[in-house]
Amino acid sequence: MTTKSPSADRRPHKAAADPARVVVDICDVHKSYGLVEVLKGVDLQVRAGEVTVVLGPSGSGKSTLLRCINHLEKVKRGTVTIDGELIGYRRVGDKLHELREREVLRQRTHIGFVFQNFNLFPHLTVEENLVEAPVSALDVPRAQAQERAERLLERVGLRDKATAYPGQLSGGQQQRIAIARALALEPKVLLFDEPTSALDPELVGEVLDVIKDLARAGTTMIVVTHEIGFAREVADNVVFMDEGRIVEQGTPGDVLDSPRHERTRTFLSKVL
């Protein structure tokens, strides 16, 4: 008989998704900087509508893994596939050939990325930050992009900030705008690299609430974070990394409440 983890009942109810469809397929990914091997053969699958939370100490390779997914970092060995499309390369026979930058940029429109430090364009208004990429990268008519921006600003609770500039907003508001900007391209997966680490503690909740709402809507996400409570509440799959490897993964109940590996237990004892 299968027992339900204590965290399962608290997880947000999700919109229906195709649980059989693998959106992100990471296969034997290795990454080095000079002689330093940062990723040492990472394998990970994320299915449609799943929220995968990646935990681990600083230097474990979490952020590098995210950057390899959208080819901001080139892998040394292995492959990353998004919804069946090989990222950064094309296969010819048994060889991989790197794509041109223009082709990679097209692929990145399918992969939303929310950074630690917002990365908004300071010279553009909030609405312009959301409109620019759909118009320039996807040839979306400006009027249509503006309508989408209005809906997204409403979704993150900042419709009244459309004409403001990023420098006029709090850190929490800027991060919510960054999330809306990533959604403006209607990506197949959203990547979050410690989205609350640059925020004052009282602003963390407003950003996590937006991510929880996305989880309820069935958005496929990979979230690197140190927020254990968030992982327990929202994640379908928790991954613990250390020294460039996935040490263990499973449900929040499995990894957070009953970790199998000593390294995971040691890490959690210091952060819980």
pLDDT digits (tens, 9 = 90+) for 41-61: 999 999 999 999 999 999 999
> Is 188's pLDDT higher than 50?
yes
> Residue 18 — very low, low, confident or very high, per pLDDT cuts 50/70/90?
confident
Is the confidence at residue 10, as pLDDT, over 60?
no
Categorize the per-residue pLDDT at 16 as very low, low, confident or very high, splitting at 50, 70 and 90. Answer: low
Token output for 78: 């292995």
Residue 40: partners with Cβ closer than 8 Å, 6 or more residues away: 30, 61, 243, 244, 245
The answer to whether the CB of 231 falls within 8 A of the CB of 238 is yes
For 133-156, what is the mean pLDDT?
96
Residue 205 pLDDT more than 90? Answer: yes
pLDDT at 13 over 70: no
Predicted pLDDT at 201: 92
Q: 224-268, pLDDT tens digit by residue?
A: 999 999 999 999 999 999 999 999 999 999 999 999 999 999 999
8 vs 209, higher pLDDT: 209
pLDDT band at 1 (very low <50, low <70, confident <90, very high): very low
> Which pLDDT band, with edges at 50, 70 and 90, does 20 fall under?
confident
Predicted local distance difference test score (pLDDT) of residue 94: 87
Q: HSE on the CB side for 9, CA within 13 Å?
A: 3
* DSSP letter (8 states) at residue 134: H
Question: What are the backbone angles phi and psi of residue 103, rounded to the nearest 5°?
Answer: -70, -35
Work out the pLDDT band at 6, boundaries 50, 70, 90: very low
Residue-wise pLDDT for 24-36, tens only, equals 999 999 999 999 9
- Are 21 and 48 in contact by the 8 Å Cβ rule? The answer is yes
Mean pLDDT of the chain, nearest integer: 93
**What is the rounded distance in angstroms from the CA atom of residue 180 to the CA atom of residue 197?**
18
What is the tens place of the pLDDT at every residue in 65-108? 999 999 999 999 999 999 999 999 999 998 999 999 999 999 99
Check residue 4 and give its pLDDT: 41
Choice among 4-18, 153-167, 173-187 with the minimum mean pLDDT: 4-18
Q: Are 27 and 72 in contact (CB under 8 A)?
A: no
Kindly tell me if the per-residue pLDDT of 39 is higher than 80. yes
- Nearest alpha-carbon partner for 219 in 51, 26, 7, 30: 51
